[in-house]
């Protein structure tokens, strides 16, 4: 079982990414059931406001997920890839392509459930070793309170 990770929000994460603009990074972000749509909305809004950039989103589990992420030269400095189900092919793809992702110079956000994150961290060592950080992301609190 993976331990508890630091909690962040889209606002905090995008601020951190904006500070490191021009450098590559890969973040594995876990989210709780039911929060996915709110997190996606928050991330899109924060990247648009803080970085004046669109936020392309794709699924790694789709047949062309990694190739699509690599083939978007004008896609902006941050790219989101959802990992929505588990497969041995997914592990092999991430472990094989992690260096290609790094070479793009983009900052990648891999969003998944805690259960899938745990499997990835155990079974994809090349991917795990290249991660900048693993964080728990929660929806922004519109009242201005801190994340849990």
- Does this model's pTM top 0.75? My answer is yes
d(CA 116, CA 86): 7
d(CA 128, CA 126): 5
Q: Is 79 inside a domain boundary?
A: yes
**What average pLDDT does this structure show over 85-106?**
82
For residue 87, what is the domain's CATH number?
A: 3.40.50.300
- In the 8-state DSSP scheme, what is residue 130? H
Q: What's the pLDDT tens digit per position in 104-138?
A: 788 899 999 999 999 999 999 999 999 999 999 99
pLDDT of residue 116: 92
Lowest-confidence pick of 3-17, 39-53, 90-104, 108-122: 90-104
- Could you list the residue range(s) of the whole structural domain that residue 89 is in? 7-135
Q: Is 1 inside a domain boundary?
A: no
Looking at the 3D structure of the chain, how many domains does it have?
1
Q: Is 145 inside a domain boundary?
A: no
Is 109 or 95 the better-scoring residue by pLDDT? Answer: 109
Q: Is 41 inside a domain boundary?
A: yes
Structure-token match 């290609």, residue found: 100
Say if CB 109 and CB 80 are below 8 A apart.
Answer: yes
Q: What's the pLDDT tens digit per position in 29-38?
A: 999 989 999 9
Q: Is 2 inside a domain boundary?
A: no
Q: Is 59 inside a domain boundary?
A: yes
Q: What's the pLDDT tens digit per position in 57-88?
A: 887 765 555 555 555 555 678 888 888 888 88
Q: Is 140 inside a domain boundary?
A: no
Question: Please, which residues have CB within 8 angstroms of residue 31's CB and are 6 or more apart in sequence?
Answer: 39, 111, 112, 113, 136, 137, 138
pLDDT of residue 74: 55
Q: Is 141 inside a domain boundary?
A: no
């Amino acid at each position: 079982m993976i331990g508890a990770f630091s909690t962040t929000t889209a606002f905090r994460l995008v601020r951190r990414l904006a500070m490191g603009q021009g450098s590559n990074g890969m973040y594995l972000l876990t989210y709780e059931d039911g929060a996915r749509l709110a997190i996606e909305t928050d991330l899109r809004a924060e990247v648009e406001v803080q970085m004046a950039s669109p936020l392309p989103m794709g699924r790694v589990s789709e047949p062309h997920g990694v190739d699509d992420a690599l083939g978007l030269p004008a896609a902006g400095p941050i790219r989101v890839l959802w990992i929505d189900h588990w497969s041995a092919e997914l592990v092999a793809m991430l472990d094989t392509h992690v260096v290609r992702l790094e070479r793009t110079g983009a900052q990648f956000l891999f969003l998944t459930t805690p259960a899938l994150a745990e499997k990835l961290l155990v079974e994809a060592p090349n991917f795990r070793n290249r991660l900048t950080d693993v964080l728990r992301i929660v929806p922004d609190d519109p009242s201005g309170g801190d994340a849990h």
